[in-house]
Structure 1
């Protein structure tokens, strides 16, 4: 199945969801059961581990939201996009880029994440 730019919106919706039950539902909708997610700070496999990673990001950055930094690009089963993470309406202290690969059902099965800007520890 071909990935679409709109999948980036669903992806970020899952990352932005703070209600655990609603987030689990989005994770099941958007990600394959055997999803793998790798970035400089995490390397996890499976929906439960990804959900726990998302919850940990909410704990680390309370009140922050993910938003697309520009249009997502998709072809074949691949999707790439840049995102900002920060308080609503303010400059984002964290910027990253993700590349995702979908499975035959159109769910994300692999995410390769890169952090382009992260705040320095205080």
Structure 2
């Protein structure tokens, strides 16, 4: 039986993993939100598995210390596919980076694949 979360919950769990800075808690968030064999691909990365995604997130946090990921706009979903925009920037400020992700949801409700696009990236990053 499927335990598919609502689209908003799915994105909230996704972003929670990206925002968690404690390594053990981040790993737990990755395992809760993504399948063990998740594939994440965007213009800057192509990783497979929870280990690869966890390392990618840790690297992003080192590159952008003190910044947070947050949803930008509404989440759209049909069948096992979900799309949403996100922003990365200082808390409460206009995002410096804006992206668009399309995710496939596994039968257990976790994210199996992520296809990311970068809509706005400052030249200085």
TM-score class normalised by the smaller sequence? over 0.9
Q: Secondary structure at the match of 2:73?
A: coil
Residue of structure 2 aligned with 1:49, choices 34, 52, 56: 52
Partner of 2:23: 20
Q: Verify: 1:75 aligned to 2:69, yes or no.
A: no
Distance in 2 (alpha carbons) for counterparts of 1:19 and 1:13: 11
* Alpha-carbon RMSD: 1.2
Partner of 1:107: 110
TM-score, normalisation: structure 2: 0.93
Is contact 1:3-1:102 (8 Å) kept?
A: no
Residue of structure 2 aligned with 1:60, choices 47, 58, 63: 63
Query: 1:91: Cα distance to partner?
Result: 1.3
Per-residue CA distance 1:46-86 (angstroms, 9 max, x = gap): 00000000000001100000111011111111110000100
Partner of 2:93: 90
The count of corresponding residues between Structure 1 and Structure 2 is 122
Distance in 2 (alpha carbons) for counterparts of 1:3 and 1:13: 14
> Structure 1 residues 119 and 87 mapped into 2: Cα distance closer, same or farther (>3 Å)?
same
